[in-house]
Amino acid sequence: DEFISSPPRKTVRFGGTLSEILLKYEKGDTTDFELLKHQLSDPDIKDAQLLNWLHEFRASVTYLTKELEQLVNILLKLPWLRRSREVVEEYLGFLGNLVSAQTVHLRPCLRMIVSQFVPPRITIREDDVDISDSDDDDENISENFNTCHRALQTVARYVPSTPQFLMPILVEFFPFINKSERTLECYVHNLLRVTVYLPTLRLQILELIIEKLLKLDVSTPQQDIEDAEETANNCANEEKSTEEGLFDMEEDEDRKGDKVVSASIERMAHPLAERLDILMTILFSYIKDVCHVDGKLDISNTKDLYRDLVSVFDKLILPTHASCHVQYFMFYICSFKLGLAEAFLDHLWKKLQDPNNPSVIRQTAGSYIGSFLARAKFIPIITVKACLDLLVNWLHKYIDNQDTGGNAYCDVALHGPFYSTCQAVFYTLIFRHKQLLDGSLRKGLSYLQSLNFERIVMCQLNPLKICIPSVVNLFAAITRKYQLVFCYTIIERNNRQFIPVVRSGTGGDLVQTCTNPLDSFFPFDPYILKRSKKTIDPMYQFWEELSAEDLEDLKKPIKKGSSEDEDDDFLKGETPQNDGVVGIAPNSYESNTRSPVSSIGSPADCYVPYPL
């Protein structure tokens, strides 16, 4: 009775098997073929029907030539990822058979897979406007991504040339930077997963990702990020003061509120900075995961990744002026092992001293050396001394060569690499002089005296005139304190050469001479992206602001015959933030300017008055 009363099972057949339908199509009978396309395009097609069709297609891939491209495209548009496990497995089998039998369909298959590297799009209508973006509520999104990577691996297994066809597609499908954070996050994460099973693409994929990160980075200057954060904090404080005292909340409500506040504190106020922060966090996690196996550093993996990252650094980062955050991927990988940090410094040193390199690249290499030596806590003082020896010896040789030529005068265009190296040395000394003098003051002073700063400062090229004023003034204060060289006479002479000019036709505005003729920057200035900075901060040397006592102390030179263990307190106290900075009136050379090193956690533009 039950059998008789039950409805007959729906069949998916009409007009015979798939091979028969395709043979009829070849002879000009398109009726069944059109019905087939219609059924496959039906969004309500059942799993059982789809499974049967896929099984037949899998066995009939020899028929799916270039002429049936339209039918193949319909098959590639099927929503197979959100189907039953049986359908997914059958579809993966079909893809493998298709690309192995008909490589003409390789590109469309790859495009279909890569298009699934971002969350599915949803459309929300607001005031007759379609707002379309990623769907963050898809619970199966992680599983779907896993299946996509299985599909890609299946295709790559059957077609060894997959990587060369895949890379242009990965570039093409990279989302625009104004897409949602979630879309960018998923796509970059999936790109990095591809490098695990297609290692030949790793360098190109890293290059693609870092190029996109760099565009984000240069689109969001540090000042814009800080301004956005300040505005957001002011708005939050106003809201808080308005709401304060209005409600007597329960303790559990307070806890909920704290969670919301902590989540909002993590977010960057600047939308592009928020995207960059998320993507930098992913990149740092990737570097850590590749270099560590079972929690231990894998030297072979680390060296291979280091080579790829240095290659990307040379191609993209070094020629880019004033990026703020992306270059920290080199800072991070170098922290894993001292040998990597030394290799990076050696790499930069070769760039700096090679006269065949463009002057701007040599100058930037000098900036990286100085900033890296000053900021990286993981670089021991013995390495700092070795680098200072190299840099200072090169400076002395440079001065020797100029003495015999006709270009021994102050000119940035002629001597850019020299000035950049001087600034790197001065900057390193500002940050590291305490460690250089630690232990035995006499030995430390003897080492600093051996560097012969006096000859560098007094030479005809006049580096104190070109280097950033904040660096020059702090260097002058330290070298005076330890009686290494007296810079103030030269600084004052340089200042007198820069007399402010008044524009007669514009209401008497001051025209200020450029205070950064090198157009230099310190690439490892403080990292301010909230999430990813947690990775960098533990290994980062912050600038410790000068207190009034420190400034007074800098005016007092070390007396000869003082105790060998006597220590200076130039960098005293822990103030990574710019709280309570002592304001010193800048001299005319610096008025109305803010140098690139005056940001949070960097030396401020201070001027230590020279003795009369």
In a domain, 202, yes or no: no
In a domain, 92, yes or no: yes
- The residue out of 131, 162, 193 marking a domain boundary is 162
pLDDT at 136: 52
Please determine, for residue 555, whether its predicted confidence score (pLDDT) is greater than 80: no
Amino acid 356 reads N
Give 475's contacts (C-beta < 8 A, 6+ positions apart): 426, 429, 430, 487
pLDDT at 480: 92
Residue that has been written with the tokens 């080199």 in this structure: 330
Q: What stretches of 437-487 show up as alpha helix (H) in DSSP?
A: 441-450, 453-458, 463-466, 469-481
pLDDT digits (tens, 9 = 90+) for 461-494: 889 988 999 999 999 999 999 999 889 888 888 8
Whole-angstrom CA distances from 293 to 31, 289, 298, 302, 574 are 59, 7, 6, 10, 36
pLDDT at 283: 97
Residue that has been written with the tokens 């814009």 in this structure: 224
Contact 80, 129 (CB under 8 A): no
Please determine, for residue 525, whether its predicted confidence score (pLDDT) is greater than 50: yes
* Residue (of 198, 118, 115, 216) closest to 155 by Cα position: 198
Please determine, for residue 511, whether its predicted confidence score (pLDDT) is greater than 70: no
Please determine, for residue 253, whether its predicted confidence score (pLDDT) is greater than 70: no
In a domain, 415, yes or no: yes
In a domain, 128, yes or no: no
* Residue (of 430, 573, 456, 590) closest to 513 by Cα position: 590
- Three-class secondary structure of residue 566 per DSSP: coil
Instruction: Report the interhelical angle of 338-353 vs 412-436 (nearest 10°).
Output: 150
412: tokens are 């940035």
In a domain, 548, yes or no: no
Coarse DSSP helix, strand, coil percentages of the chain, rounded to the nearest 5 percent:
60, 5, 35
Please determine, for residue 116, whether its predicted confidence score (pLDDT) is greater than 60: yes
pLDDT at 293: 94
Q: How confident is the model at residue 146 (pLDDT cuts 50, 70, 90)?
A: very high
Q: Which helix (H) or strand (E) holds 304?
A: helix 299-312
pLDDT at 169: 97
d(CA 440, CA 420): 30
pLDDT at 20: 86
Please determine, for residue 12, whether its predicted confidence score (pLDDT) is greater than 80: no
Name the DSSP class of 81.
G
Q: How confident is the model at residue 218 (pLDDT cuts 50, 70, 90)?
A: very high
Give 39's contacts (C-beta < 8 A, 6+ positions apart): 12, 45, 49, 53
Indicate the Cα dihedral angle 2, 7, 9, 15, nearest 10°.
140
pLDDT digits (tens, 9 = 90+) for 406-432: 676 777 778 889 999 999 999 999 999
Name the DSSP class of 575.
-
Phi, psi (deg, nearest 5) at residue 502: -105, 130
| Average pLDDT for 205-224 | 94
- Three-class secondary structure of residue 123 per DSSP: strand
Please determine, for residue 108, whether its predicted confidence score (pLDDT) is greater than 90: yes
> Could you tell me the pTM of the whole model?
0.82
Please determine, for residue 175, whether its predicted confidence score (pLDDT) is greater than 90: yes
Please determine, for residue 251, whether its predicted confidence score (pLDDT) is greater than 80: no
d(CA 205, CA 527): 24
Task: Give the range with max mean pLDDT: 134-148, 250-264, 523-537.
Answer: 523-537
Please determine, for residue 256, whether its predicted confidence score (pLDDT) is greater than 60: no
Contact 592, 512 (CB under 8 A): yes
Alpha carbon distance, N-terminus to C-terminus of the chain: 116
Contact 417, 361 (CB under 8 A): no
Phi, psi (deg, nearest 5) at residue 54: -60, -40
Contact 515, 589 (CB under 8 A): yes
d(CA 146, CA 140): 10
Q: In the chain, pLDDT over 90 holds for what percent of residues?
A: 52
pLDDT at 184: 95
| Average pLDDT for 524-540 | 94
d(CA 524, CA 379): 14
pLDDT at 499: 54
E-strand stretches of 245-365: 292-293, 296-297
16: tokens are 């015979």
In a domain, 276, yes or no: no
| Average pLDDT for 157-185 | 94
The mean of the pLDDT values for the chain is: 81
d(CA 166, CA 169): 5
- Three-class secondary structure of residue 121 per DSSP: strand
Query: Bridge partners of 129?
Result: 126
Please determine, for residue 149, whether its predicted confidence score (pLDDT) is greater than 50: yes
pLDDT digits (tens, 9 = 90+) for 586-598: 332 333 333 334 4
Phi, psi (deg, nearest 5) at residue 122: -120, 155
Instruction: Report the interhelical angle of 141-158 vs 162-172 (nearest 10°).
Output: 140
Q: Using alpha carbons only, how large is the chain's radius of gyration in Å?
A: 32
When divided into structural domains, the chain yields a total of 2
Q: Which domain holds residue 41?
A: 7-121+140-162
230: tokens are 């300040």
pLDDT at 131: 56
In a domain, 93, yes or no: yes
Contact 133, 118 (CB under 8 A): no
pLDDT at 514: 61
In a domain, 73, yes or no: yes
Phi, psi (deg, nearest 5) at residue 296: -115, 145
Which of 275-279, 368-372, 408-412 bottoms out in mean pLDDT, i.e. has the lowest? 408-412
Indicate the Cα dihedral angle 234, 239, 242, 243, nearest 10°.
-140
pLDDT at 250: 47
